[in-house]
């Protein structure tokens, strides 16, 4: 038997109803905040992620699915989508459009990391990017949008973590101070952090190895080394969040795992997900577009929700909503009735009513299937019903059954 590749999985009904519900909620929220959908290819040139995400990040150095195409070029399955969105923004000159470009995406990403609870090698993200403004108001609005999606999806008990990682003016000095603090303790850290001490000390703060945390917690805090501009920006972001009643915790050593972040970074964690408890992460990336070749300064901020992990934590009892439930199960008795049922089912479907027709099933078996399908109504039609211009309509909740005309049938089902 051929099985799904390790780290991937099939999403089956009724679980897919939860996914559809979360997607629909996200789209409704994006619409309210004037975001518009962008769909980028799942394949990109490898250099896009090496330059955009950072060559020394775990994503680029360990986790990407990269291969050589037939023409010798190096291609990569996208491990995240911010770099792709910015590439599309530059390529199609979206900077020429008026106002902030607010873009969202929903789709699969690929990383070859160790499969664990809520983490897969093909995983799904809901994300957004607001490009064209440095305003802390935009930062707060993006974070508010995130909280709104999670709340509407039914996620409870989550915690918003907040930090600032400075910019090109203040971060280099902090990185040098961090490197100095790491040198005497580097040998006590994990192998990856020993390497990062030399190549990218900021990445040490993102380490998740439990044995390293005591050392990391004693390292200097970037909040003590922000320049005036970054400090004022972070103060303004917090003021906007406070005014909207959005609670958060400041985590000075939260830097996120991608090199393009600057100033505001944020993360949402949830206790039901174990040690790797992050539901989403995001932040500001004001220099990313220029590093990827943008001819103009294009500051931005965005986030990505791990949809696999979000779906794990929302209320599973709401999986099959009324909108997804089968409305009508049809039990035609005989070939003539089956022909009639096909036309009737088509007409019901055209007005948005979901219908299943039991083809060539005896009445007893058809009603068993109607029960198992969870249908709201069963319609029984045979020669007598067709001749009389009426159908037997059974309410599967109350068990009541009576004859209705075609018009009454449509009205009754639509009312319910």
In three-state secondary structure terms, 232 is: helix
Give the containing element (helix H, strand E) for 410: helix 406-415
pLDDT tens per residue across span 54-65: 655 666 666 888
Q: Is 72 left (phi over 0), alpha (psi -120 to 50) or beta?
A: left
Instruction: Give the chain's mean pLDDT.
Output: 87
* pLDDT for 322 beyond 80: no
The mean pLDDT value for 127-155 works out to: 95
Provide the CB-side half-sphere exposure for 55 (13 A, CA): 3
Given a contact cutoff of 8 angstroms between Cβ atoms, the answer to whether 224 and 177 are in contact is no
Distance CA 271, CA 273 (A): 6
Alpha carbon distances (Å) from 246 to 62, 157, 241, 410: 36, 13, 5, 46
Cα–Cα distances in angstroms (integers) from residue 35 to residues 26, 111, 157, 378, in the given order:
11, 27, 27, 41
Burial class (CB in 10 A: 0-12, 13-18, 19+), 2: exposed
Q: In CATH, what is the architecture of 328-415?
A: 3-Layer(aba) Sandwich (3.40)
Measured CA to CA, the distance from residue 82 to residue 90 in angstroms comes to: 12
Residue 319 has pLDDT above 50, yes or no: no
Torsions phi, psi for 125 (to 5 deg): -125, 145
Q: Establish whether the linkage from the previous residue to 70 is cis, with ω within 30° of 0.
A: no
Mean pLDDT score, 287-312 = 90
Alpha carbons 147 and 303: distance in angstroms, whole number: 12
Structure token pair of residue 93: 């000159």
Q: Kindly give, in sequence order, each residue whose CB lies less than 8 Å from that of residue 187, ignoring residues fewer than 6 positions away.
A: 194
Give the pLDDT score at 61: 62
- The verdict on domain 15-170+226-318 having CATH code 3.30.930.10 is yes
pLDDT at residue 287 tops 60? yes
φ, ψ at 208 (rounded to 5°): -110, 5
Q: Which residue has the higher pLDDT, 127 or 318?
A: 127
Domain boundaries, the chain: 15-170+226-318, 328-415
This prediction has a pTM of: 0.84
pLDDT band, residue 254 (cuts 50/70/90) = confident
Rounded-to-integer distance, Cα 355 and Cα 368, Å: 16
> Which residue in 350, 270, 268 sits closest to 314, CA to CA?
270
Residue 24 has pLDDT above 60, yes or no: yes
Instruction: Return the structure tokens found at 58.
Output: 């775990």
Q: How far apart are CA 44 and CA 164, in angstroms?
A: 30
């Amino acid at each position: 038997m051929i099985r799904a590749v390790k780290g991937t999985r099939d999403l089956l009904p009724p679980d897919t109803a939860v996914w559809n519900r979360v997607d629909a909620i996200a789209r409704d929220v994006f619409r309210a905040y004037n975001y518009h959908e962008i769909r980028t290819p799942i394949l990109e040139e490898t250099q896009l992620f090496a330059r955009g995400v950072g060559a020394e990040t775990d994503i680029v150095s360990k986790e990407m699915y990269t291969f050589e195409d037939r023409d010798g070029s190096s291609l990569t399955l996208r491990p995240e989508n911010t770099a792709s969105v910015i590439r599309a923004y530059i390529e199609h000159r979206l900077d020429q459009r008026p106002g902030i470009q607010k873009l969202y995406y929903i789709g699969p990403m690929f990383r070859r990391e160790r499969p664990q609870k809520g983490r897969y090698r093909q995983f799904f993200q809901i994300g957004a990017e607001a490009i064209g403004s440095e305003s802390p108001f935009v930062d707060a609005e993006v974070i508010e949008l995130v909280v709104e999606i999670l709340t509407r999806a039914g996620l409870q008990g989550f915690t918003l973590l907040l930090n600032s990682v400075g910019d090109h003016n203040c971060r280099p000095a902090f990185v040098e101070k961090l490197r100095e603090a790491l040198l005497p303790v580097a040998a006590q850290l994990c192998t990856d952090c020993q390497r990062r001490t030399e190549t990218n000390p900021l990445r040490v703060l993102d380490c998740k190895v439990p044995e390293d945390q005591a050392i990391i917690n004693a390292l200097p805090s970037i909040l003590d080394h922000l320049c005036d501009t970054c400090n004022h920006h972070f103060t303004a972001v917090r003021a906007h969040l406070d005014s909207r009643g959005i609670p958060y915790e400041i985590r000075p050593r939260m830097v996120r795992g991608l090199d393009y972040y600057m100033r505001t970074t944020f993360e949402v964690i949830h206790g039901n997900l174990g040690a790797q408890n992050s539901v989403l992460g995001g932040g500001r990336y004001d220099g990313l577009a220029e590093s990827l070749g943008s001819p103009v300064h294009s500051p931005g901020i965005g986030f990505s929700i791990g949809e696999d992990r979000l779906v794990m934590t929302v209320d599973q009892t709401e999986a099959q909503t009324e909108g997804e439930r089968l409305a009508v199960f049809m039990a035609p008795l005989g070939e003539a009735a089956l022909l009639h049922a096909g036309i009737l089912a088509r007409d019901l479907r055209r007005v948005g009513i979901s219908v299943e027709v039991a083809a060539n099933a005896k009445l007893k078996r058809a009603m068993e299937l109607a029960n198992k399908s969870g249908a709201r109504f069963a319609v029984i039609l045979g020669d007598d019903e067709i001749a009389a211009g009426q159908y037997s309509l059974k309410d599967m909740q109350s068990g009541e059954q009576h004859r209705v005309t075609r018009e009454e049938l449509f009205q009754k089902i639509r009312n319910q």
